[in-house]
Structure 1
Amino acid sequence: MPTIHVEKSDTAEDIARKIRATDPPRFRKKPVEVEAVRWGLPGAPSRPQEIVNWITERGGQAGYVLEPFEALEIVTLEGAMYASPGDWIIRGVAGEFYPCKSDIFAATYEAI
């Protein structure tokens, strides 16, 4: 946290204002609509080729890998990422694809 300069004449309110001024600004995520599919469930049979086809038919790149673990390898804007059974695969607002863990998906998105 940055250092603030406190004057003898500063009141508690002045000090609190100076502290707040050093906090990073806060932002709220805009409401956006995305497409998403969930890949199987942990321990359940998966149909990875359907997900790979969904991604590639929409301009993305993905593949199914078994080593070192079962995963969908998805080429994202940040490089290759891996989805495990139970994860959601999201097509974002710019048409990009990326995996998302189920708990994060549930906290961030709702069905429309």
Structure 2
Amino acid sequence: MTRYKKKPLEVEAFLFGYEPIPKWFADACKFFGYTTYYNYQHTDSIKIHYPENDVRFNKGDYVIKGIDGEVYPCNSDIFKKTYEEVK
């Protein structure tokens, strides 16, 4: 058996439903045809239709911008165990 560890990298993220929408998330929403993202603070979740599947972003999830510009949700408990804030 071979063991692996995650490479250290920095990501951009925000807390969905509680923090302002960053431009990169708004751009991703527009690219995939989701145009009502600006009202997300008034809802508990939104769903974006990606070509391969639908992805739901729930209030309280962290939204992460991946290394290739992709966006995806992460449960806040998992996020806090995996990431720490860069000062």
Partner of 1:26: 3
Partner of 1:55: 25
Q: Could you tell me how far 1:34 is from its partner in structure 2?
A: 0.6
Q: Distance in 1 between matches of 2:52 and 2:22?
A: 18
Larger of the two Rg values belongs to structure: 1
- Length-normalised TM-score, structure 1: 0.55
Partner of 2:70: 96
Structure 1 residues 99 and 77: alpha-carbon distance in aligned structure 2, compared to 1, 3 A threshold: farther
C-alpha contact 1:77 1:96 (8 A) present in aligned 2: no
RMSD of the alignment, in Å? 3.0
Q: Which moved more, 1:76-85 or 1:88-97?
A: 76-85
5+ residue gaps in structure 2?
Answer: none
Structure 1 residues 38 and 77: alpha-carbon distance in aligned structure 2, compared to 1, 3 A threshold: farther
Task: State the identity %.
Answer: 38
User: Which stretches of structure 1, 4 residues or more, deviate above 2 A after TM superposition?
Assistant: 50-54, 61-66, 74-79
5+ residue gaps in structure 1?
Answer: 1-22, 41-45
Equivalent residue letter for 1:56: A
**Residues 13-61 of structure 1: per-residue CA shift (max 9 Å, x gap):** xxxxxxxxxx4x2210001111000013xxxxx57xx53864133xx13
**Residues 86-109 of structure 1: per-residue CA shift (max 9 Å, x gap):** 110000111000000000000110
